[in-house]
Amino acid sequence: MIVGSISENLSQEQRVSVTPDIIKKYKSLGFEIHLSKNYGLHLGFTDQLYENEGAKIFSSDDVISNSDAILQLNILSDENLKKLKKNQNLIGVLNPYINEKKLKEIALKDINCFSLELLPRITRAQSMDILSSQANLAGYKAVVDSFSYFQKAIPMMMTAAGTISAAKVLVVGAGVAGLQAIATAKRMGAIVFATDVRLASKEQVESLGGKFLVVEGAENLETKGGYAKEASDDFKNKQEGLIKETLKKIDIVICTALIPGKKAPLILKKDMIDELPIGSVIYDLAASQGGNSELTKVDEIVDYNGVKIMGEANILNKLPISASNLYSKNIFNFINNLYDKDNKVFKINLEDEIIKKTMVK
């Protein structure tokens, strides 16, 4: 059995699906690993390094042609999708909400497509949870980057010349990225506030030293899978009023609110941003899905009346080695679950919730 991966479009994606240190694990299951030429060179992973670990290097066409499973981060290009053959397995972050038509077309050719962002939130799937591993890094990096643009010190400092007050941070959305943002900001000495539609987040926020902003009369808007549900208009209005008042004393806002498969909820409207002091910074991790801030522009730093608003299409391109190390382990654990070791085949067992939920038909 052959597991293969080809280079991503490096102008959009710096991460890789197979790192050198994961190859031995694949080989222990009996797999051959085929990679395209210069696959990880941009990360310092030379072809020689991969070969030393046991991988084989081929052209991209040969990798696609010979692989039983093709591991990627993003969906293949249209040209490469046409090269897929019956009974092959395509595994990655395929974004079926955007690529629905493409995925249906290749599924009709008896090609199995698995999109890992659809993994169920169950204990057995935790080691495969790419959303958590990647969001964790994104939350950390958003804080570091926003602090680098903030022109004051972050922690409180007491000196003979006077006292510098600690920076005040508001984290919008207390999922994995938000919780890591809270933890990182607290470690750096900031005073942190947070808000989320899920009341269950309150205890998690407070355990990290943050102050949870409770919307009056709030319900717990959480799905059975642990994700946020879309809020009612009444809740949105109350949340808007609470955040607007809070923003008057906030220096840095980290936006992380997302609803899987939908446009990001608009939370920071223009009139709310007007409340922020000059010199404040907004980092919008939801930028690529429309943004939580009305003024966010992807891959631009917007200066609005002295407030900097930042949002990148892929913040993990700034931490590609760490992100690749985690992603490659997530995807190996998924393969390990999919592979029937006794019969040495990939077994599409739709009674397995992990396989059923991630398979795109």
Task: Tell me if residue 88 is catalytic.
Answer: no
Q: Name the active-site residue from 62, 227, 304, 352.
A: 227
Question: Can you say whether residue 67 is alpha, beta or left, with left for phi > 0 and alpha for psi between -120 and 50 degrees?
Answer: beta
Q: Name the active-site residue from 5, 36, 132, 201.
A: 132
Place of tokens 């990655």: 92
Contact of 185 with 219, CB cutoff 8 Å: no
Contact of 141 with 177, CB cutoff 8 Å: no
Nearest Cα to Cα of residue 172 among 262, 282, 255: 255
Task: Tell me if residue 97 is catalytic.
Answer: no
Partners of residue 69 on adjacent β-strands: 3, 89
For the record, the structure tokens of 41 come out as 């060179």
Q: Name the active-site residue from 62, 68, 121, 322.
A: 121
Q: Name the active-site residue from 15, 36, 60, 129.
A: 129
For residue 317, the 8-state DSSP code is G
Query: What ranges in 45-129 are assigned the alpha helix state H?
Result: 47-53, 60-66, 78-81, 100-107
Decide the pairing of beta strands 345-346 and 339-340. Answer: antiparallel
Q: Name the active-site residue from 126, 165, 207, 232.
A: 126
Decide the pairing of beta strands 339-340 and 307-311. Answer: unpaired
Task: Tell me if residue 132 is catalytic.
Answer: yes
* Torsions phi, psi for 222 (to 5 deg): -130, 135
Q: Enumerate the active-site residues.
A: 121, 126, 129, 132, 227
